[in-house]
Amino acid sequence: MEHYHYSDLLKAHKIFRKIEGRWSFYDAYMQNRKPNIWFKSSQVPLSEGLLLFGFVQSWDPNFKGELSKFMKTYEDIFEMIKELEGLTIVNVQFTSHIKNTIAVIFDRIATCTRGRRYESTDTSKILHCIHPELFVMWDDKIRKAIVGEGRDGRCYAFDFLPEMQRRAHLFLQTYIQEKGGNLESASTAISSMADNYTLAKLLDEYNYVKHTRKIDLK
């Protein structure tokens, strides 16, 4: 039976920053993006698109996303994205409507590429950058360890994200048991101990350390 304790999120965060040199690209993106810019208008400034794609490219040199296609697609799916504003991996209610909405958004972004390439891993990065409180990144090894072989929007929305929320709540409950508070206050407290990274980002780092790099946190 897998053990969950909030201290493991903090351990994974420290390990992640030691073993993964590309974390600085993420920090640079988050520090330079305009807060909530992606929820203000479907007409996102090109500079923001360039900043976002620059981050993804710096993380994955093989990224084949097409910025012009992405910007046009974002206009088309903006109303769906807007529905998710204010939701976090802690408080989101995974109704059928929300899961279907996320699945559609995921698949539309994943196909904004040159040729017919489907960008599953990098789409999770794009979504996280657009909405860092809700979307958790994944890669091939994380996917296979947690949900199996699926890699499309339906797998991400119906299987992966709900499982990430389940585990997030387990981590948070250990903090509440020791320190008091509720899910939201526990999430804020843990974030403050980890360079103010969102819980969704800390979950990604935990998964990366555990499943991608296979490092024992115990």
For residue 131, the model assigns a pLDDT of 97
- Among residues 85, 92, 83, 81, the alpha carbon closest in space to that of 184 is found at 92
Residue ranges of the domains in the chain? 6-212
CA gap 147, 163 in Å, rounded: 9
For residue 3, the model assigns a pLDDT of 85
3-state secondary structure of 113: strand
For residue 7, the model assigns a pLDDT of 97
For residue 1, the model assigns a pLDDT of 62
User: Mean pLDDT, consecutive 10-residue segments, the chain of 218 residues?
Assistant: 90 96 92 93 96 95 95 97 98 98 98 94 97 97 96 98 98 98 98 98 98 92
Q: Say which residues have a Cβ less than 8 Å from residue 46's Cβ, sequence separation at least 6.
A: 71
